[in-house]
Structure 1
Amino acid sequence: MADTKAIQQLDLNLLKIFEALYLEQNMTLASKSLFITPSAVSHAIKRLRLVLNDPLFVRQGLQMQPTAACQRMAPQLISALNRIRQVLQQCGEFDPLTTEQTFKIAIHEALESQIMPTLIKQVVKLIPHAKIASMSLSRENIARQLANGEVDLAIDVARAVNAPLAHKTLLSDPFCVLIDRRQHAMYLEPSTKLTPTDYANAEHVAVSSRPIGRVMEDILLQQQGVNRHIKYRCQSYQTAAKIVIGSPLMLTLPRSIAEQFIHPDLHVCTMPFELPDIDTHLYWHMNTETDPAFVWLRAQIEMAIIAK
C-alpha cells in the first residue's frame, strides 16, 4: 500500500521522470529526453517505488516494462501533468515558435480530411515544437471534455449549445447527390438534371453511426414531405461513396465532401430540393476565450478554411 504521508511530501520532479520512463521504457532514452544521467533516472524511480510500494518497472533486456499497477496509474498521471503544463503556459506570453503545447482538436470524421491536412501544412513551420492531435468527436461528452481540458477545440456541424461553450461558423456547405455515371448516364448531359421525382423514387445509402433513425438530410427532406428509401447505412462518407460505384444507389452529402471523392465512375448532381446549407462550427470553452494560444489556434483554423 502506498505511503500516504510520503505522497503528501513527494518531490513532484519524480513524476516527470516517471512520465519519461513510462513513455520511453528505456533508462537511457528517458535520461536523454530529460537531459539527466541514467543513474539519476534510476535513483528517482527507486524513490517512487518506496513511496508507492510497487516496483513500477521491471527490466526485460534493455526495456523497462511497466507493472500492472504502473499501467493503471500512468495514463491518469500523465494526463494530469499535461494539464498542469497547460495551466502554467497560460500564465506567460504565447510564442508559437517556442511553445511545446499539444493542441487537441475533436473533429467529426467526415470533416477531418477536409480541414486537418490544410491546417497542419499551414502551421508546420509556425509551431516547430508543438503538436496537434486530431481526436474522435463525441457529441455526448464534448461539453465536459472542453470544460476539463481533454479537448481544446471541437469542429462539428452546427448544433445548439449554451454558455459556457462558445462557437463560430467556419463554413456553409450545400447538399448535393453523388451517383454512378454508368448507372445514371442521363444526368451527365447538362440539359438533364436530377428531378425531385427521380430522387424520391431512388434507393439511397445514408451515413450514420446509428443503425436506425433519421439522418440530418432526412429531417430537412421530410419538412418538405419527401421520404427516401434508405437501402443501406454505413459509418463514413468514404465507404458510402465506394458503395455507390457500380450501383444505382444515390448518396446525399455536403458538396465539399463529395468533391474529395475523385473517381471516373462518380458524378456530382445538384440537389433537386431546396435544402438549407449545412453549417460547420468551431466550438470552445469560455475558459479559453482570451487565452493567447487558443486565440491563435482558432485564427489558424479559420485561415485554413479560407485557404482550402
Structure 2
Amino acid sequence: MSQRSIETGLRKFDLNLLPVFWTLMKTRSVTRTGEALFLSQPATSAALARLRTAFKDDLFVRQGRTLEPTPKAEALMEQLGPLMQGVAGALGESIPFDPATDARTFRIGMSEDVAMAVMPALPAIRQAAPNCRLIIRAASYRTISDMFGTREISTAIGHVEELPASAKQRVLRRGGWVVLRDAASSGPVDLDEYCARPHLLVTPRGDLTGFADAILAGLGRQREVVLGLPDYALIPRAVLGTNMLCLVSEMVYEALSILDDNHRLAADPPPFPCEDSVTYIAWRSAVDHDPGEMWIRNQLIQALTRH
C-alpha cells in the first residue's frame, strides 16, 4: 500500500473510534464500555454503528446479555491490539499527573480484608487528589485475572495466584496471624483451649474448613467451627459476648482495632506455627509507567505497609 493511500485512509477514518472498539472487545458490553470511556450509552451505541459502517461488518452480535465479536472483529483485534497497547503505554508515560489538580478515575480490585485495612487512608488520598475518583471493586484470586483482562480494574491487592502474562506483581507485605476473642473471656489461648472452644470462620465460599484445620490435623487435633460469616466486618458483633475464637491475619486485626475504641477484642498468638500471611499488589503492564497509576499504587502501598 502506498504512503498516499495510507494517508487517505487515515483521513477518512475517525481514530477516536478505535478506543471504543478496543474496549468493546474487552467488556463485551455497550454499557460498560461507556462507563470505561466516560461516554453516554447513546454515544457509545452511535460509535459502534459508525464502526460497523467503517468496517462493513456487524463486528459484535448480541448473545444473551453479552456482545460476541464476529470473525472480522477478532481479526481486527489481532492486528490492532498490540498497536493500541503500545500507544496507550507511550501516552501514559508522556502525560504528567498532578494529584492536586488532575481528574482521574482509578479502579482498584481488593479482597475484603484489604479494603477494610485501606479505609482509614482514604481521607488522606481524597485530600491529596480532590478531583480524582477511586472505585474499589471486590476481587479475589479467582477473579483478578479476568478483571484485568476486561480492564475492569488496573490494580489489584490481595492474595494472588494466577495472573495474565501481561500483569506485574510484587509482595506488598508479610504478616502473622492472631486468635481473636472477647477480651472478657479467658486467655491467652493455648492449644488445648483453642481446640476446646467454638470457632468462627470468615468463609465467602460457605465452607467451614480453613488452613488451621489442616495444621491441627497434622498435630492429631481438631477444632469445631460453629459459625461461618461472609465478611470480616461482622467478626466483632459475632465474637463479643461469647467464648468463640477467630483466627485472622494481623492486617485484619489492625483494621478491626481501629473500630474497637473500648478495646473489647483481645488477640493471642496462635498456639501452633503458621506460615506468613502474604499480601500482593498486582497491576496491568499497560499502566506500569502511567504517572497517575504509579501515584495511586504508591499511596496504597504506603497505607498498607505503615504499621
The equivalent residue for 2:120 is 117
For 2:151 and 2:266, locate their aligned partners in 1 and report how far apart those are by CA, in whole Å. Answer: 42
For 2:15 and 2:149, locate their aligned partners in 1 and report how far apart those are by CA, in whole Å. Answer: 29
Instruction: Work out the percentage of aligned pairs sharing the same amino acid.
Output: 18
**CA distance 1:241–1:103, change in 2 (3 Å):** same
1:167-246 to structure 2, matched below 5 A, reads 167-182=169-184, 184=185, 186-187=186-187, 193-212=188-207, 214-246=209-241
Contact preservation (8 Å) 2:141, 2:159: no
1:99 aligns with one of 93, 96, 102 = 102
Contact preservation (8 Å) 1:122, 1:304: no
For 1:92 and 1:272, locate their aligned partners in 2 and report how far apart those are by CA, in whole Å. Answer: 53
The equivalent residue for 1:307 is 306
**CA distance 1:88–1:133, change in 2 (3 Å):** farther
The equivalent residue for 1:58 is none
The equivalent residue for 1:144 is 146
Gap regions ≥5 residues in structure 1:
1-7, 24-43, 53-71, 74-82, 188-192
Contact preservation (8 Å) 2:169, 2:281: yes
Contact preservation (8 Å) 2:111, 2:158: yes
The equivalent residue for 2:291 is 292
**CA distance 1:112–1:196, change in 2 (3 Å):** same
**CA distance 1:218–1:169, change in 2 (3 Å):** farther
Cα offset, 1:171, TM superposition: 1.6
- In the alignment, is residue 132 of structure 1 matched against residue 131 of structure 2? no
Figure out how many residues of one structure are paired with residues of the other and give that number.
Answer: 243
Cα offset, 1:114, TM superposition: 0.8
Cα offset, 1:218, TM superposition: 3.2
For 2:229 and 2:239, locate their aligned partners in 1 and report how far apart those are by CA, in whole Å. Answer: 12
SS at match of 1:303: helix
Cα offset, 1:280, TM superposition: 1.0
For 1:223 and 1:299, locate their aligned partners in 2 and report how far apart those are by CA, in whole Å. Answer: 40
Cα offset, 1:102, TM superposition: 0.7
**CA distance 1:287–1:219, change in 2 (3 Å):** farther
SS at match of 1:300: helix
Which range moves more in the overlay, 230-239 or 256-265?
256-265
Which range moves more in the overlay, 214-223 or 95-104?
214-223
Which range moves more in the overlay, 285-294 or 99-108?
285-294
For 1:174 and 1:232, locate their aligned partners in 2 and report how far apart those are by CA, in whole Å. Answer: 23
Q: Which amino acid aligns with 1:230?
A: V
For 2:110 and 2:291, locate their aligned partners in 1 and report how far apart those are by CA, in whole Å. Answer: 22
Contact preservation (8 Å) 2:201, 2:208: no
Q: RMSD over aligned Cα, in angstroms?
A: 4.0
Which range moves more in the overlay, 248-257 or 211-220?
211-220
SS at match of 1:163: coil
1:163 aligns with one of 148, 162, 165 = 165
For 1:225 and 1:95, locate their aligned partners in 2 and report how far apart those are by CA, in whole Å. Answer: 57
Cα offset, 1:231, TM superposition: 0.6
Q: Which amino acid aligns with 2:182?
A: D
The equivalent residue for 1:27 is none
Contact preservation (8 Å) 1:204, 1:231: yes
For 1:218 and 1:165, locate their aligned partners in 2 and report how far apart those are by CA, in whole Å. Answer: 33
Gap regions ≥5 residues in structure 2:
1-11, 21-30, 36-41, 51-64, 67-83
Which range moves more in the overlay, 93-102 or 234-243?
93-102
For 2:90 and 2:110, locate their aligned partners in 1 and report how far apart those are by CA, in whole Å. Answer: 26
Cα offset, 1:161, TM superposition: 4.3
The equivalent residue for 1:31 is none
2:111 aligns with one of 108, 121, 137 = 108
Contact preservation (8 Å) 1:171, 1:279: yes
The equivalent residue for 1:251 is 246
SS at match of 1:90: helix
Contact preservation (8 Å) 1:174, 1:254: yes
For 1:11 and 1:305, locate their aligned partners in 2 and report how far apart those are by CA, in whole Å. Answer: 41
Contact preservation (8 Å) 1:241, 1:251: no
For 1:228 and 1:174, locate their aligned partners in 2 and report how far apart those are by CA, in whole Å. Answer: 20
**CA distance 1:144–1:160, change in 2 (3 Å):** closer
Which range moves more in the overlay, 102-111 or 291-300?
291-300
Contact preservation (8 Å) 2:140, 2:158: no
